[in-house]
Amino acid sequence: MSLIKNKINSENLPKHVAIIMDGNGRWAKSRGEDRTFGHKNAINAVRNAINACNEINIPYLTLYTFSSENWSRPAEEVSTLMNLLVETLLLEAEEIFSKGLRMHVIGNLNKLPTLVREQLQRVMDLTKENTKGNLVLAISYGSQNEILEAVKNISSDVKEGKVDVENIDEKLFEDYLYTKNFPPVDLLIRTSGEIRISNFLLWQIAYAELQFLNVLWPDFTKDIFFQCIVDYQNKERRYGLTGEQIQGQ
């Protein structure tokens, strides 16, 4: 049993953890390999994050798998990432299912190759009845585009008389986002030492705790994840209130 895991308070867990999985290229370069070597060796870190969430019963884990901006990377790297995604889904589908996890995908999926879309749909169909937890893959995802699409769709519904402008509030807006069925993010983790959000879940992390780790993604372990949870639990989440107000509730 992990000593760090033993420090976790099971009564104060985040409902939704999101991870920006960064550092594959630098990890590979430090070993004299090309970037694709890093992507291929990142799969174990993904398993570690999923298993850690599953072990302590965190209901939602969102992984930034491929951003809308990543389409601009060299064609060879993009092709490798797409092929790797298909291979990983084929290998991990049964494992995800057996853990009782339901898989969801958010993003502009129309840009994905047909084979990738088919494999994603296959795993979503396979796991759709699972209730132990939720694995959300953000693929071809960009938060600014998501928000713009929500604005366009609300505007269209206002024009058609389906929505009254006076009724537009945060809850209604969230109903037009990819994440409408998910809780807001409580904890955002980014690996690799970079301190930025990179167009990821901008609306959903409004009150999230942010942790930036000096760890390259392929080196991410379950104990690192558990330490992030311990650090999260040591924070006082005030949501704009004072500490005294929170303590008085």
* pLDDT digit string, tens, across residues 129-158: 999 999 999 999 999 999 999 999 999 999
Please tell me the pTM assigned to this model.
Answer: 0.93
User: Of 70, 83, 108, 130, which is the active-site residue?
Assistant: 70
* Residue 209 counted as an annotated binding residue: yes
Mean pLDDT for 230-245 is 76
pLDDT of residue 78: 92
**What is the distance of C-alpha 89 from the center of its chain?**
16
Amino acid in the structure at residue 29: K
Of 5-9, 52-56, 240-244, where does mean pLDDT reach its minimum? 240-244
- Kind of pairing between the strands at 187-190 and 209-212: parallel
Q: Is 156 annotated as a binding-site member?
A: no
How far apart CA 138 and CA 105 sit, in angstroms, is 6
Which of 19-23, 41-45, 100-104, 199-203 shows the lowest per-residue confidence on average (mean pLDDT)?
A: 41-45
Question: Please, what is the end-to-end C-alpha distance for the chain in angstroms?
Answer: 35
10 is annotated as contributing to ligand binding? no
- Model confidence at 243, pLDDT cuts 50, 70, 90, reads low
Is 143 annotated to bind a ligand? Reply is: no
pLDDT confidence bin for 236, thresholds 50/70/90: confident
The sign of the dihedral angle between the CA atoms of 220, 121, 88, 68 is negative
214 is catalytic: no
Determine the pLDDT at residue 2: 81
Pick the most confident of 78-87, 108-117, 145-154.
Answer: 145-154
Quickly list H helices, the chain: 24-29, 35-40, 43-56, 75-98, 114-127, 143-159, 170-174, 222-233, 243-248
Tell me if 203 is assigned to a ligand binding site. Answer: no
Mean pLDDT score, 45-49: 95
Residue 130 is among the residues annotated as catalytic for this protein: no
How many CB atoms neighbour CB 131 within 10 A? 9
Q: Is 47 annotated as a binding residue?
A: no
Q: Say what the pLDDT of residue 158 is.
A: 98
Mean per-residue pLDDT, 28-51: 91
The torsion angles phi and psi of 48, rounded to 5 degrees, stand at -60, -45
Tokens of 240: 């704009």
- Gap between the Cα atoms of 220 and 168, Å rounded: 41
